[in-house]
Chain A
């Protein structure tokens, strides 16, 4: 299985930048996903990394280093609506493994 670790909580100020780290251990690797989940709602897809490097999507960017088992999600120009839980999820490379394994999530609180 996978061990996926991410910080429990982070707090930042509106307009600032926050970086959420995620480390994972897996016997194989077939992609890392970031989801955003507002309280009481379903996770919504933010980004997907399968190769090393940085993927940028507007204010959100995600980075992957497969050799280090490490990813981060970078949130820029924080807005109040960015207050949510951010979930890191990994898919295994083994055949017949289709599930996503999630970390416990990082709760980001944006303050005015």
Chain B
């Protein structure tokens, strides 16, 4: 039973570029949440997707957008990258769509913006 998977594992971009990160949820999970974790900090909620729609959003600018596909996998897109976007981006999945279940995290994508 595969857990949450994310790709790529590492990424280096320059300011102003765009990036797309991918996540496949754990088998049986239909809800995907994205978090940004800066060095030495706890994860910060970006948004959550359920039934291919953004269900809730954290305090992130519109440069951060996402998508969920019919197979429940998800993408996080960040436009016009800033140096401050350098962080570990974590995807978490949970079952049943109620949002009240435990979230399980993937290994993350480490993004470095130069």
Contacts and interface: CB of A to CB of B under 8 A. Distances in A.
A98 B33 contact: yes
Interface of A: 4, 30-31, 33, 35, 40-45, 48, 87, 89, 91, 96-105
A101 B41 CA distance: 12
Given A42-B106, A98-B56, A105-B42, 12 more contacts: A35-B105, A42-B90, A45-B104, A87-B42, A87-B43, A96-B55, A98-B48, A98-B55, A99-B45, A100-B43, A101-B45, A104-B42
B65 interface: no
A24 B110 CA distance: 29
Which 9 A-B pairs have CB atoms at the shortest separation, nearest pair first? Answer: A98-B99, A102-B42, A99-B45, A42-B105, A43-B105, A42-B107, A104-B42, A102-B43, A98-B56
Contacts of A45: 102-104
7 contacts: A43-B105, A48-B102, A98-B99, A98-B100, A100-B43, A100-B92, A104-B40
Q: How large is the interface on B (under 10, 10 to 19, 20 to 34, 35 or more residues)?
A: 20 to 34
B7 interface: no
